[in-house]
Amino acid sequence: MPQDGCIFCKIAAHSVPSEIVFEDDLVVAFKDLRPLAPVHLLIVPKRHIADLNDVPGSDEPLYGRIVWVASALAKKQGIAETGWQLFCRVGKGGGQEVGHVHFHLISGNRC
């Protein structure tokens, strides 16, 4: 369920413009507005969950899907062979800035 005021929920609902590079029923991926590297995509579940601490065990298939999407996007972006990172920040102490689970797919420099 979308959360009022959540920028990632708005992007997933197409009510805020973004450069979407992948979308299916469960996940949306788009270019980060403040990239840390030449390739910097955000992979976001469409269902709002604040952070990984709140993910129920029943969502295990969704998070496997996110990893698969990351791999497919790495191939599409031409970085699968040269290498890439996939990471998620959790909570303020972990550097999370948006209160919606999201994964960073990054390549092109050492972050």
Between CA 10 and CA 72 the distance in angstroms is: 24
The encoded tokens of residue 43 equal 């992979």
Query: Nearest to residue 11, comparing CAs of 42, 34, 50, 52?
Result: 42
Residue 59 CA neighbour count, 13 Å, CB half: 17
Active site residue 40: no
Pick the catalytic residue: 40, 48, 100, 102?
102
Between CA 111 and CA 106 the distance in angstroms is: 8
Active site residues: 102
